[in-house]
Structure 1
């Protein structure tokens, strides 16, 4: 379950930002998770309280927004919706599609005090 190590990284990022931006508590964390990222949102929800226990984000609300996959066909230059990492272009059938959205995980927003 690599989601726990991802949450530990989130906690470390929050702690670093707290030092740099002078806040002491996080009340809400919004994460954007790409549907192609191989990160399971349910596993993040399950582990969030455990990983954040004793940190400045203890008892924080977790909001997860899922991003759809979007690719750019390198043959016909069309932007397409994609469901998997290896979807071909829906317009020309080319297998050479560059992912431009959906493979990322990022902290989108924080509410702090």
Structure 2
């Protein structure tokens, strides 16, 4: 389950931010996950529940925003929507598609608790 390794990476980001900015508690951790990233959002949410124990984000809400897939068809020279890396071009049927968007997984935002001390 590579989601656990990803969750540990998020934990490292949270720990570094908490240390650098003297953060005691976070209200939310906002993630962006591309539809083509091969990340299972629910498996990641479960792994984060374990990985964030004892961190500034232990009680934080986990928000996961999905980034739609998009690619460039090499055959017909068009940008096309992709739900999967295995999809064919909806215009010409070619499978020669270069992903442009939807492969990312990033921490977009760490929201501080409102009653921060």
**Structure 1: distance between partners of 2:96 and 2:22:** 46
TM-score (norm 1): 0.88
Q: Deviations over 1:17-58 (max 9, x none)?
A: 233344332220011111111111111222222211111111
**Structure 2: distance between partners of 1:22 and 1:78:** 47
SS at match of 2:81: strand
Q: Does 2:52 correspond to 1:74?
A: no
Describe how 1:12-91 pairs up with structure 2 within 5 A. 12-91=12-91
Q: Deviations over 1:58-103 (max 9, x none)?
A: 1010011112211111232211111221222111222211111111
Contact 2:23–2:56 (8 Å) recurs in 1: no
Equivalences, count: 113
TM-score (norm 2): 0.85
In structure 2, relative to structure 1, the CA distance for the partners of 1:75 and 1:20 (3 Å cut) is farther
